[in-house]
């Protein structure tokens, strides 16, 4: 595998990661409605999901390609989970406006960190569209007969690019300049995010 293949692999992944999808929607939603901390947790969960998913595809590509039952099960699980998250967002209680005293870090942010991370991990790892994409780019750029070292470098490249991209999105969207203007529209953003997740879930189920 040449250096050009590594570059092409990285470019292909970055272009796909920048496309609108459930993972990026979850990160942005947490940044605008919850807190920077919850958004970073969602970004870390997405990165972990990407690492697990790409690693799995690299090791058992042939099995995944030939197992339609596994792929359909994955689609159903992902769809149900996305629709569940969307419905939960739609019926979430409107958050009260923060007073000056309440702008200190909330205890709930710390106690719910694991939930934000796990939500994002499940959304990314169960996404069948991401599985399809990884299978496609591996078929194009990575020979199954390549050594473990080459496959590990490919995995490291994808995880590194994923880390840079999703953490950057989280930090930029959760900046004070942006959240200052959106904090009065939390309920609108929550409902919009819920609708987007339901649409994503329905689309994956129907495709």
pLDDT tens-digit readout, 134-150: 877 776 677 665 677 88
User: What are the tens digits of pLDDT across the range 22-71?
Assistant: 888 888 888 887 788 888 999 999 999 999 989 888 877 656 555 667 66
pLDDT of the residue at 105: 42
Selection from 11-15, 91-95, 98-102 with the highest mean pLDDT = 11-15
Assess whether pLDDT exceeds 50 at residue 91. Answer: yes
| 124 within 8 A of 130, measured Cβ to Cβ | yes
User: Who wins on pLDDT, 151 or 60?
Assistant: 151
User: Who wins on pLDDT, 104 or 169?
Assistant: 169
Q: What is the mean pLDDT of the chain?
A: 75
| 40 within 8 A of 109, measured Cβ to Cβ | no
| 151 within 8 A of 49, measured Cβ to Cβ | no
Mean pLDDT lowest among 34-43, 56-65, 156-165, 197-206: 56-65
pLDDT of the residue at 47: 94
**Mean per-residue pLDDT, 169-177:** 83
**Mean per-residue pLDDT, 177-199:** 67
- Dmax (CA) for the chain in angstroms is 60
SS3 for the chain is CCHHHHHHHHHHHHHHHCCCCHHHHHHHHHHHHHCHHHHHHHHHHHHHHHHHHHHHHHHCHHHHHHCHHHHHHHHHHHHHHHHHHHHHHHCCCCCCCCCCHHHCCCHHHHHCHHHHHHHHHHHHHCCHHHHHHHHHHHHHHCCCCCCHHHHHHHHHHHHHHHHHHHHHHHHHHCCHHHHHHHHHHHHHHHHHHHHHHHHHHHHHHHC
């Amino acid at each position: 595998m040449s250096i050009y293949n590594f570059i092409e692999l990285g470019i292909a992944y970055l272009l796909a990661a920048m496309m609108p999808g459930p993972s990026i929607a979850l990160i942005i939603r947490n940044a605008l409605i919850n807190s920077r901390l919850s958004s970073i947790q969602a970004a870390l969960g997405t990165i972990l999901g990407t690492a697990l998913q790409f690693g799995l595809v690299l090791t058992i590509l042939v099995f995944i390609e030939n197992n339609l039952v596994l792929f359909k099960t994955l689609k159903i699980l992902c769809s149900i989970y996305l629709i569940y998250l969307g419905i939960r967002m739609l019926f979430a209680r409107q958050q009260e406006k923060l007073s000056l005293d309440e702008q200190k870090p909330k205890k709930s942010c710390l106690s719910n960190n694991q939930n934000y991370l796990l939500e994002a991990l499940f959304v990314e790892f169960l996404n069948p569209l991401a599985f399809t994409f990884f299978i496609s780019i591996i078929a194009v750029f990575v020979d199954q007969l390549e050594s473990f070292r080459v496959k590990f470098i490919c995995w490291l490249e994808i995880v590194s690019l994923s880390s840079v991209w999703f953490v950057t999105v989280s930090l930029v969207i959760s900046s004070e300049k942006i959240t200052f203007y959106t904090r009065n529209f939390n309920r609108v953003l929550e409902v919009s995010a819920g609708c987007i997740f339901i649409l994503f879930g329905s689309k994956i189920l129907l495709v």
